[in-house]
Chain A
Amino acid sequence: MSGKMTPGRFLRENAVIIIFIIITLAAIQPSGLSLTYIVQELLTRLGRNSFLVLALLIPIYAGMGLNFGMTLGAMAGQIGLIFAINYNITGVNGLLFAVLASMPLAILMGYICGVVLNNAKGREMVTGFILAFFMDGIYQFFVLYTLGYAVPMKNPAIVLSRGYGIRNTLNLDIVRQSLDTWWMLKIGPFSLPMASYLVIVVLCLFIVWFKKTKMGQDMRAVGHDMAVANSSGIPVNRTRIIAIIISTVFACIGQVIFLQNMGNMATYGAHTQTAFFAVAAILVGGASVKKASLANVFVGVVLLHALFVVTPNAGQKVFGQAMIGEYFRQFIGYGVIALSLVLYAWRSRKEAERQREGLRGGTAAAAQGGAK
């Protein structure tokens, strides 16, 4: 995609961001929310969601598209949290325990996901999506029938009254916002969860560093062209599996950070929307299936959540029903993903046509030169 940047091309390339900015700005006024409230919400949501969205970057570098399989990592994180609540491990130590307890499971899930995706090259996104549904069934079996039956659970507050299986909703009071409040900075009317930001900054630094390592370079090579990478001696399948494992582990940690901020956990449903909102955020930020950066993550989280904050109130004021705004969230989320994928496919086709025309033009010019 080289060449001069025309206004039309700028609009085409940034269509999703521009649409989002227009809708959000239009919804702020009818929502009746103060700017202070909106900014505070965005600061909180940056700390809550950025880690999950950052988990999507490495598979994109490896050319595996948007990792819908990150739901597997989220499930692992939730299992870790269930154990932390079961053993009554409080505060940041509870989060650390949850992460460490769930990480081996996340690695295993990531490995399985990577192997499956290697057998579905070119269709990674839809395969990851369906794999997440499949693993959801296994997760539900594990949590609903195994915990408390095969795996002893000693906390009656989390076990179903029949004696095994975990309750529908878990109260995470003992770890609630423990990371956020660990180091809370007050600047004027705003509270900044600095510990959460610090964790996110560390992850960003890791990603920047990782891209420069041999493995990172291998991933970019694999993402660019698998055949060329294979010819140059890069173990393509292994590299792709590692990319998915890293993403799954980050998703696991991200889900723990997300849930500690929320303060409760829908045991059988908290993970189902994880990948959906993370993917929507990174696409809103201007990323595509093949290309993404750290900036896309933060722009996307801010824009998507700005819309999420203002639309329920705007829906209430404009239509008289807050539920309209809630439906609007879902509609916008799925709409953004669809629009981004369509735009990506359209741009790819245009680019391919332009390259073909260039080749034809080059051949024609050569033929004319030869005739002379």
Chain B
Amino acid sequence: MNGVNKESKVGPRRMLVRGGLAVVYIAVMVMAFILGKGHKILIDNKDSQDGAIKAFENVNVTIDSQDPIDFMAGDRDQTSVRSQWHTITIKVGDQQPVVKKVTLPLNENVVLLSIPKLMANVEPYVVPFVPADEPPPPADNSGNSNEFTSPTGTEAPAAPTAPAAAPTNP
């Protein structure tokens, strides 16, 4: 019962439609990727490393439509945002608020945003954040044994360890 096996010829118009649909499919996926990409912003109100740009004594920062955050000099806070493009409203003391547009690097999950540099228009005010000593993620031994391949899930025998040092009397 193989049914009717017709060799259907695909015309150029149909090929064009199919190609167009494939392009739309990929475009929607790329759009979802770019617009949905989450970033963590560490907002910094600190002096620049060379000391040329000073931190603000009191500054209020609002990212997009999130709640405003108050910073004193030397403060750092963090917030999570979605997509690359953001509007940052900065209010220094009693001055008029300043609105700045910021574009985050697409591939960076965590970035450091320096408010003093942004206000002074000194590049780069957004830099990738590299933790000095990132702790390793908590160990998960679930892939180290054969529990996924064996119904009994027996663990591999533990490696022999060095004998504990003999207790010494104080």
Residues of A within 8 A of B (CB): 87-94, 96-97, 100-101, 121, 140, 144, 155-157, 159-162, 165, 167-168, 174, 226-227, 230, 233-239, 268
Task: Find the A residue at minimum CB distance from B107.
Answer: A154
Q: Is B32 within 8 A of A89, CB to CB?
A: yes
Alpha-carbon gap, A96 to B28, bound state (A): 9
Confirm or deny: B6 has a beta carbon within 8 angstroms of a beta carbon on chain A. yes
Residue in contact with A94 in the complex, picked from B4, B5, B36, CB distance below 8 Å: B36
- Please tell me if the beta carbons of B82 and A160 are within 8 angstroms of each other in the complex: no
- Using A87-B33, A88-B37, A93-B32 as known contacts, say yes or no to A230 and B148 having CB atoms under 8 A apart: no
Q: How large is the interface on B (under 10, 10 to 19, 20 to 34, 35 or more residues)?
A: 20 to 34
Rounded to whole angstroms, the CA-CA distance of A89 and B136 in the bound complex is: 23
CB-based closest 10 A-B pairs = A93-B36, A235-B3, A90-B38, A168-B142, A89-B36, A160-B143, A165-B143, A236-B3, A97-B32, A100-B29
Provide 22 A-B residue pairs closer than 8 Å at the C-beta atoms, listed in order of the A residue.
A89-B38, A93-B36, A93-B82, A94-B36, A96-B28, A96-B29, A96-B36, A97-B29, A100-B28, A121-B1, A155-B109, A160-B143, A161-B137, A161-B139, A230-B3, A233-B4, A235-B4, A235-B5, A235-B6, A236-B3, A237-B3, A238-B3
User: What residues of chain A lie closer than 8 Å to B28, measured between beta carbons?
Assistant: 96, 100
Asked whether A160 and B142 contact (CB < 8 A) given A93-B32, A96-B32, the answer is yes
With A93-B36, A100-B32, A234-B3 known as contacts, the answer to whether A161 contacts B82 (CB < 8 A) is no
Contact A88–B109 (Cβ < 8 Å): yes
Q: Report if B129 contacts A (CB, 8 A).
A: no
Residues of chain A within 8 A of B109, CB atoms compared: 88, 155
Instruction: Return the CB mask of B131-144 against A: 1 if under 8 Å, else 0.
Output: 00000111111111
B169 at interface by CB-CB < 8 Å: no
| A87 proximity list for chain B (CB < 8 A) | 33, 37
Whether the pair B38, A174 counts as a contact (CB closer than 8 A) is yes
Chain A nearest CB, measured from B65 CB (Å) = 15
Contact between chains at A236 and B36 (CB < 8 Å): no
Check B95 for interface membership: any CB of A closer than 8 A: no
Asked whether B72 is an interface residue with its Cβ less than 8 Å from the other chain, the reply is no
What's the Cα separation between A87 and B25 when bound, in Å? Answer: 19
The listed residue (B1, B137, B141) touching A226 by CB distance below 8 A is B1
Does B119 have its Cβ within 8 Å of any Cβ on chain A?
Answer: no
Instruction: Compute how far the CA of A96 lies from the CA of B37 in the bound complex, rounded to whole angstroms.
Output: 12
Interface residues of B in 1-50 (CB under 8 A from A): 1-6, 25, 28-29, 32-33, 35-39
Of B6, B36, B140, B149, the residue contacting A161 (CB under 8 A) is B140
Q: A140-B149, A161-B141, A174-B38 are in contact. List 12 more A-B contacts (CB 8 A).
A: A88-B109, A89-B32, A90-B36, A90-B82, A93-B33, A96-B28, A96-B36, A156-B137, A167-B142, A230-B1, A234-B4, A238-B3
Do B148 and A144 touch (CB < 8 A)?
A: yes
A175 to chain B, nearest CB (A): 9
Bound: A144/B145 CA distance, A: 11
A335 to B31, CA, bound (A): 46
A87 to B106, CA, bound (A): 10
Q: Do residues B143 and A239 form an inter-chain contact, with CB atoms below 8 A?
A: no
Do residues A167 and B140 form an inter-chain contact, with CB atoms below 8 A? yes
Q: Whole-angstrom distance from the CB of A74 to the nearest CB of chain B?
A: 18
| Cα–Cα, bound, A230→B37 (Å) | 50
Whether B3 contacts A239 by the Cβ 8 Å rule is yes
CB distance from A260 to the nearest CB of B (A): 13
Task: Give the docked Cα–Cα distance between A233 and B3 (Å).
Answer: 7
A268 CA / B146 CA spacing, docked (Å): 13
How far is A172 from B139 in the complex, measured between Cα atoms in Å?
Answer: 19
Task: List, in ascending order, chain B residues with CB within 8 A of A157's CB.
Answer: 137
Q: Which residue of B lies closest to A89 (CB)?
A: B36
Q: How far is the CB of A196 from chain B (nearest CB, A)?
A: 18
Please give, as numbers and ranges, the residues of chain B lying within 8 Å of A165 by CB-CB distance.
Answer: 143
On whether the beta carbons of B36 and A227 are closer than 8 Å, the reply is no
Chain A residues, Cβ within 8 Å of B29: 96-97, 100-101
Name the residue among B2, B5, B36, B139 with the largest chain A CB count within 10 angstroms. B36
- Which chain A residue lies CB-closest to B37? A89
B141 to A, closest residue via Cβ: A161
A89 touches B33 (CB 8 A): yes
> Contact: A268 with B148, CB < 8 Å?
yes
Chain B min CB distance to A78 (Å): 15
